[in-house]
Every structure is written in C-alpha cells, then in structure tokens.
A and B are shown apart, each in its own frame.
Chain A
C-alpha cells in the first residue's frame, strides 16, 4: 500500500515524463484492442455471411462430393429420396446441383461451376427468385466478381457448353437476369446459377442434387428434424467453417507480430525510463534506504512505479479510446478496393467487435509485461552500495 502511494506520488510528480510514457502505452493499448476487434469483427461477419448465403444450418453432401477434388464432381450427384423430397417440401432442406461447364463470354473460354438451385428456396440469401423460368430464355444469375471478370452485365446472353451425364456435349445461351453482391466469394467466383430443374434437365439428371442445404435454427439438423439420409453425409458448421477459422487464425498470427512490435515500442519506452530513473535517481534511492527502506522495498517501489504506467495508460486509453473504438464499431472500417478479389470472405466494411475478454485480456497482458520490464532494471538497486547511492555516485 505504501509502495503504491509513493509510486503514485513519484509518477504524478514526474509530470511530462510520466504522461509521455503513458500516452505511448495508451496508443499501444488502443491499437492492440482495435486490431483484435477488427479480426473478431471480420470473423463474426464471415461466419454470419457464410451461414446466411451458403451453408444454412449445415449441409448434406452426396457421399462422393469433395470440393477439393475436381475429378470427383462428375460422380458427386444422386437422386433425392422420397424422404429428402419431403424435407425439401417442408422447407427443411434446399437441394443444389453442382456441375462443371464452360462459358464463352465475348468469345473467350471460361471454366465455370454451374449450380442449380430451387428459385423458391427459402433457406439461403441467394436471390434465386430471379431464376423462375420463362418459355423463351434460360435465366441465370451471377455474382459481381464473375460479372466483372467476364465483363458481363444484366441482360447479356452468354453461351454455356457442358457435357451431360451420358458424356454428350451440348450448348445453349443463358440470359443474365441479375447480378448479386455477396461477401462470400465461394458463392460468386466463376459460378453461374440456374434454376435446379433446368440444370437437371440440361445434364439429364432429373431429381438429382449434389448438396442439400439445411434450414437454420436446428442445432443439429441430423437429429433435430431431417434425420439421416443414406448416401449423404452431414457436414456441420464446425466442419464447413473450418477454412474461415484457419484464415482468421493466420491473420491473427500476423496480428501477433503487430502486437509484438507495438508492445516492444512501448516496453522500450518503459524500460528506458526505468534505466534512466535508476541511473538519475541514485541519490533518491540512497535517501529512501537512509530513511528506513530496505533495498527490496525500493525495488518494489520502482517496479510498481513502472507498472503503474500501464494502469494510467489503461485509464487514459479508456478516456479517449472508448469513444474512438465505439465510433469505429458503429461506422465500420472500409476495406481497400479489390480486397475481396483475393477470394477472402470479407465485406466492404468490417465492423470491429470488442468483447470484455478481449479488453481485459489485453489489459492484463500489457500490465504483466510492463511489470516484468519495470522489474528487470530495478533489480540493479539490490547491487547498489547505499553510501555511494546517497552521494549520487555512479555505480
């Protein structure tokens, strides 16, 4: 308690020197929390959008389907059983057929993934209603990235060529009726969406599907409502979001470097102050000993004094950081143009997400590091000769 009181007096008495260190440390606090908040916000957004646009409450994969093996695509489709059809009719599932094809935008060849989905499906956010067929055209929708890469616009006709289930090549023109914007690139990049029945008809795969997307809400669709379907394997969120999790983990790893750099800068300031203090304040150290403190007590005093920088920094950071971070969480952080072209599930704006664990965790880490950094130079006091220290003799 006494050491706290004296450390507080010393810090407040040192005025500008203290506040400069505190300010630098508070910046580190804010930046560390902000960066982690951005990653958390991105993680939440990527999960939310992927669930809303792509995977719903989980997916059943036809047993041969392997998204990482293009040679498996021809085999990864199967006729939907009556039980599956009942679940589809009940709005618990929506089927999706996935095949390979080639598109010829402006005479160029472009390999694509052709996907068929029910225009009336209520489960994912893909604007499938536009796919309702008419007699004269085959409507298709594509994402913004595909449209940009292939210079396609709404109203354009584009030739699609494919090989049906019997190995016969065929081709037709489809009309781009809508271009959608999604933050989930795996629903967009080189994908052309058709009505499921038209897709099945083109490939001569009536009643077949590759993936069955379940409705959101059930914790485990397999046990909650849809049950198991022979020949289909259920993939839950844990499995389907693994890629996003890995990507965020990689980004977090990069973030640790920034964390280390920021911490090193602020800790260097604290360390420097401590070393200078011990060098410049030898007389003061000697005086404390003469007045009745042990060398260990003086070490504690100097360590607490250094560690208190981080407490003051946390207070200062709260003072200007909370409004700043709250404002940023409200308006978001606009991603640079073209960021999502890298195939990352990322929105135009990321809204940072700050949790109590993040704030408290960062504060505790900074506090512990500051204490250690303060203690290391303070140990030198133990080796000082008090009589020399009193005279300010450099030791």
Chain B
C-alpha cells in the first residue's frame, strides 16, 4: 500500500445543511494514502467520492474528524494556508476540464506557475515540459474552443502536473471523453505516476478508469465499503 502516509483521514464526517436538517455525505471515514499511489474513490452518484476529494483538496472542510494532507489538518487551515497548500502541493483535474476560455493552451498551463511567482524562464521551460508529457507542444497557441475534448483534458492534466505536485486529484476525468481518448488520458496519467511518483486520486464510477487503478476504495452512502489493492496493476 502506501510508502508513507501523504493523506491521513480519521473518523471523518461531512454534513450539508438542508433547511433545518442536514444531509450526511460522509460517515466515519478512515483512510491512509501514500506517496506514488494510483488510487480511485469508486462508487455510484451520491456516494460521497467528490465530497471526499474536495476535502482532501482543501476546498471543503470536514464537519467532524480529521483529514491531514501532507501533515496539515485541513479543518484547521485558514483561507491563505488552504490556498498555499493547493498552490504548492495539489493538482486538480476536473470532469469539465475547467480551462480558462480566453487563455491559450500555454497560458492555461502556465497559470499555476504564475501563482507560484516563478520567473518567465522557469515558467517557459516547465510549461514546455508539461506539454511534452501530454503531447500537445504543437497546440500551445490554441484556445480551448479550438481543441477536442481529449485535448482539453490533456491540457488539464498538463496544468495539474506542471508544478510537479505531490498529489493530483481527478474528479471524473473521463466522464466527457470517448473510450479511445479515455484510455489515452489514463495511460498518460499512469505514466506520470510511474515516472514522477505523483500520487493520483480519482473520483470515478467509470469502468475504464477502474481498470487502471492500483487501489480501489469503494464508497456507498458516504461510507467506505471496500478498500482493495488491485493485484494485476
């Protein structure tokens, strides 16, 4: 399983208020995820996988329990500390790519490096390398509207990977892609995981993604119902 615990979740609960009542999205979650894992949170819609991913990504806070990411307790971070954690150590890949439509491919990939206040030379070099990883060097001046869905998701991967984060969180990354593009994307991510030892955490119910996972954590009704290592991967 994990070489060392990058992510440690203890008795995590998440409630969402609904009127005077609340909806419990996560119940008593206990997990550890280590460096270089290629792990999936698997389950049907409403099972809590995206909620868990958002908490790990410091975009949301637990109601009870603790989620420690890279040694930092998510619930205790202020807005600036949360932003710094995301900025330095986390990469995000979204189902709908979330590329900035008025930016070129290069500018989209460059954005996280701008937030890290890197020099122009460094940014240039790192963006070129990230575009090379995903095979989009020739599209650097294109805008997202000029790209296919598969290409947009590859840009999204390049943007997540460009700063070489310790953890990449991918929420349904293949949901909007056809089978060929899905396999292409997944092979790219698998290669990056292998080469750079980046931890990938997916939230998915796509069988194609599940096929690539090295560890499968199944969620149902906000609970972990299964946590298995996939031997053949």
**A390 with B94: CB separation less than 8 A:** yes
By a CB distance below 8 angstroms, the chain B residues around A230 are none
- Nearest A residue to B107 via CB reads A9
**B79 with A283: CB separation less than 8 A:** no
**Cα distance, A390 to B79, chains bound together (Å):** 17
Is A146 an interface position by the 8 A CB rule? Answer: no
**Cα distance, A294 to B111, chains bound together (Å):** 14
By a CB distance below 8 angstroms, the chain A residues around B117 are 2
Known: A9-B102, A291-B115, A295-B79. Contact between A387 and B87, CB under 8 A? no
Pick from B60, B94, B115: contact of A293, CB below 8 A: B115
- Nearest B residue to A287 via CB reads B98
Q: Which of A's residues lie within 8 Å of B, judged by CB?
A: 2, 5-6, 9-10, 12-15, 283-284, 286-287, 289-297, 386-387, 390-392
Is B193 an interface position by the 8 A CB rule? Answer: no
Is B70 an interface position by the 8 A CB rule? Answer: no
**A292 with B83: CB separation less than 8 A:** yes
By a CB distance below 8 angstroms, the chain B residues around A2 are 114-115, 117
12 contacts between A and B (CB under 8 A): A2-B117, A6-B111, A13-B103, A287-B92, A287-B98, A292-B84, A292-B86, A294-B79, A295-B79, A386-B60, A387-B54, A387-B60
For window 88-111 of chain B, which residues contact chain A by CB distance below 8 Å?
88, 92, 94, 96, 98, 100-103, 107, 111
**A283 with B96: CB separation less than 8 A:** yes
| Band of interface residues on B | 20 to 34
Known: A9-B103, A297-B83, A387-B59. Contact between A292 and B96, CB under 8 A? no
**A392 with B96: CB separation less than 8 A:** yes
**Cα distance, A287 to B111, chains bound together (Å):** 10
- Nearest A residue to B85 via CB reads A292
Which DSSP category, helix, strand, loop or mixed, fits chain B's interface? helix
By a CB distance below 8 angstroms, the chain B residues around A293 are 83, 87, 115
**B100 with A287: CB separation less than 8 A:** yes
**A390 with B98: CB separation less than 8 A:** yes
- Nearest A residue to B89 via CB reads A292
**B100 with A294: CB separation less than 8 A:** no
**Cα distance, A24 to B96, chains bound together (Å):** 35
**Cα distance, A292 to B113, chains bound together (Å):** 10
Q: How far is the CB of B100 from chain A (nearest CB, A)?
A: 6
Is B57 an interface position by the 8 A CB rule? Answer: yes
By a CB distance below 8 angstroms, the chain A residues around B59 are 289-290, 386-387, 390
By a CB distance below 8 angstroms, the chain B residues around A392 are 96
Q: How far is the CB of A16 from chain B (nearest CB, A)?
A: 12
- Nearest B residue to A295 via CB reads B79
For window 69-91 of chain B, which residues contact chain A by CB distance below 8 Å?
79-80, 82-84, 86-88
By a CB distance below 8 angstroms, the chain B residues around A289 are 59, 83, 86
**Cα distance, A296 to B80, chains bound together (Å):** 9
Known: A295-B79, A296-B79. Contact between A13 and B102, CB under 8 A? yes
By a CB distance below 8 angstroms, the chain B residues around A296 are 79
**Cα distance, A297 to B102, chains bound together (Å):** 19
- Nearest B residue to A391 via CB reads B96
